[in-house]
Structure 1
Amino acid sequence: MKNRLEGKVAIVTGGGTGIGEAICKKFAQEGARVVVAGFPEDPVDDVVKEIQKEGGEAIAYNGDISKEVNAKECVELAVKEYGQLDILINNAGVFPEVNMLQDYTEEALDYMIKNNIKSAFAMSKAALPELHKTKGNIVSAGSEAGVIGIAQNAPYGGTKGFIHAFMKGLAVEQSQFGVRVNVVGPGPIDTAWTHKSTGPMDKKMVKTMKVATPMGRRGSPEEVANVYCFLASDEASYVTGALYMVDGGITVTKGPVGEEADSSMKKQPKGDLDLEHSKEGHTSIRNK
């Protein structure tokens, strides 16, 4: 089924790399016009060109959307270019450090609050007046860490727990304006974050992550984007205040069950999206 987002306009924050790139390309494939938002150093312009090459419509927004002035500017760009805003995807976030709490740096905490929490707050606040007009919806990035916590990165799980509660509250208060609000909770996904060479995880954490997942593997960015697409579409018209886990079952597991997964589960599906930046998006602290 294609064109589930035909006629819709979407902003995707953190849209240049990882899951964000997959969401942008999935939405464009389904007929949406997409504003790909990210930091100036992110490959947002590349993603826009790749979408356009495939016949889709997209424009870039470069800026720090945790600042309310930039969030407002991003929304204004969408409306100026496409005439409306139907969907806000709060995907932007960072995973800068792995440490026991006694060694965790205040700099990393501040960086996560800025990019995991303030970005979703600023973008949601800026987008709501336009979403009221279109009876649109918001889908935000939670995490399995926001449900069960995560050792050696407890503050990260805390930021995602905030997103879960924040979006459920918005779902209740914004229903009077016809706006749906939901959360996607990825587990271990095959991006830069979950590889020792490109993210903060060490070898032991990478191994534990896979064996603790009942499906015995990382998920693909496209598998996550598929759930975002459903929640953003009219097919999810009776879904609001929900947290959809896309985690291979890790939040309900006990022990190394991934070692026993059937071989059919251990192989990622091939997918349809041409993802060029799924292993980019290193989130070491930037001086911005």
Structure 2
Amino acid sequence: MGNRLEGKVAIVTGGGSGIGEAICKKFAKEGAKVVVAGLPEDPVEDVVKEIQETGGVAIPFSGDLSSLANAQSCVELAVKQYGKLDILINNAGTFPETNMLSDFTEEAFDYLLKNNNKTVFAMSKAALPELQKTKGNIVTAGSESGILGIAQNVPYGASKGFNHAFTKGLAAEQAQKGVRCNVVAPGPIDTGWTHKETGPMDSQMEKMVTQATILGRRGTPEEVANVYLFLASDEASYVSGAVYPVDGGTLIAKGPAGELAADSMKKQPKEELDLEHSKESHTSVRK
């Protein structure tokens, strides 16, 4: 166990799988008390049990966090259980469909905005009164596609661009209240989203997103969680309003750069976290 978040209380939305699971386990390992929040169908209770079995402290919250009432209940649970709230991680999101815009369904678009944007709005609004008390911080999930845009999923990139601008505005607004706000912008990460068997990508897109990185591979959930840890910790005390790419160099790649990467760059690092749900995909359109 580390101590970089010793004494801190954190809510992590979308904490049941993928990057969210890694953030929850990394934060707990570093001493935080974690509220693992997700939709009712997400394995949040499994993640809580796994954290507790390794000596960490965590509780679950299940609910649709795009509802302000549910968001407030989640914050109230954290404060009731642990006495305060220091960190909000707006990780929840969805990647429901890949299609040309002319074929992109309205149902998928509405679901995208609900989960990628309204949840960020509701959770941030609900958490701010408590974060102002603790001089805490918010870290929100963006994407390299929120900077570059993304073909065959134009609305997804736009939803992440919203999160970038939302966070920058919130950082400027909340500095006077002592609250920092930042964005982590992943590229292709080794979760259910980026495999054709478990997500909406076809084989061509699956290959394309990997070769668009200069490292020639997907990132791991733990590699992303490491950046969340830094931004959420006191080590990032002079960082606010920033968008941190964790994209394997996607933003500077030119052409199929991954083909040229050294074999050592393409090899994923050995992970320390026991991630049981990294390949689970919760991306289907739900009403």
Equivalent residues of 1:38, 1:63 under 8 A apart: yes
Q: Which residue of 1 aligns with 2:236?
A: 236
Q: For residue 123 of structure 1, what is the aligned residue in structure 2?
A: 123
CA RMSD of aligned residues (A): 0.7
Distance 1:162 1:210 in 2: 24
CA distance in 2, matches of 1:180, 1:282: 29
Higher mean C-alpha displacement, 209-218 vs 82-91: 209-218
Match for residue 286 of structure 2? 286
Equivalent residue number for residue 18 of structure 2: 18
Paired amino acid for 2:13? T
Q: Percent identity?
A: 74
Q: Distance in 2 between matches of 1:216 and 1:168?
A: 30
1:154 corresponds to? 154
Partners of 2:39 and 2:221 lie apart in 1 by 20
Conserved in 1, the CA contact under 8 Å of 2:92 and 2:116? Answer: yes
Structural mapping, 1:172-191, within 5 Å: 172-191=172-191
Q: Distance in 2 between matches of 1:281 and 1:202?
A: 15
* Uncovered stretches (5+) of structure 1, i.e. residues with no partner: none
Q: How many angstroms does 1:8 deviate by? A: 0.1
Matched, 1:89 2:65: no
Give how far 1:281 is off: 2.6
Alpha-carbon distance, 1:2 to partner: 2.2
Contact preservation (8 Å) 1:42, 1:281: no
**2:70 alignment counterpart:** 70
Provide the C-alpha distance between the structure 2 equivalents of 1:195 and 1:106, rounded to a whole number of angstroms. 24
Residue 99 (structure 2) aligns with:
99
Deviation of the 1:264 alpha carbon: 1.2
Q: Does structure 1 retain, via aligned residues, the 8 Å contact 2:185–2:244? A: yes
* Distance in 1 between residues matched to 2:126 and 2:101, nearest whole Å: 34
Q: 1:272 Cα deviation (Å)? A: 0.8
TM-score normalised over the length of structure 1: 0.99
Instruction: Provide TM-score, normalisation by structure 2.
Output: 0.99
Partner of 1:218: 218
* Superposition misfits of 4+ residues, deviation over 3 angstroms: none
Structure 2 Cα separation of the partners of residues 132 and 223 of structure 1: 29
Secondary structure of the structure 1 residue equivalent to 2:162:
helix
Deviation (angstroms), 1:19: 0.1
Determine whether 1:8 maps to 2:20. no
Tell me the SS of whatever aligns to 2:181. Answer: strand
Instruction: Give the distance between the partners of 2:194 and 2:282, measured in 1 at CA.
Output: 10
What amino acid is the match of 2:136?
G
Residue 221 of structure 2 aligns to which amino acid in structure 1? P
Q: How far apart are the structure 1 equivalents of 2:127 and 2:180?
A: 13
Does the 8 A contact of 2:180 with 2:240 survive in 1? yes
Q: Is the CA contact (8 Å cut-off) linking 2:3 and 2:31 kept in structure 1?
A: yes
Shift of 1:210: 1.3
The answer to whether the aligner puts 1:250 opposite 2:250 as a matched pair is: yes
State the AA in 1 paired with 2:121.
F
3-state secondary structure, aligned to 1:11: strand
Q: Distance in 2 between matches of 1:125 and 1:211?
A: 38
Q: Which is worse superposed, 54-63 or 277-286?
A: 277-286
Measure, in 2, the Cα distance between the counterparts of 1:207 and 1:129: 44
Give the SS at the match of 1:37. strand
Structure 2 Cα separation of the partners of residues 121 and 265 of structure 1: 37
Three-state SS of the structure 2 residue aligned to 1:120 is helix
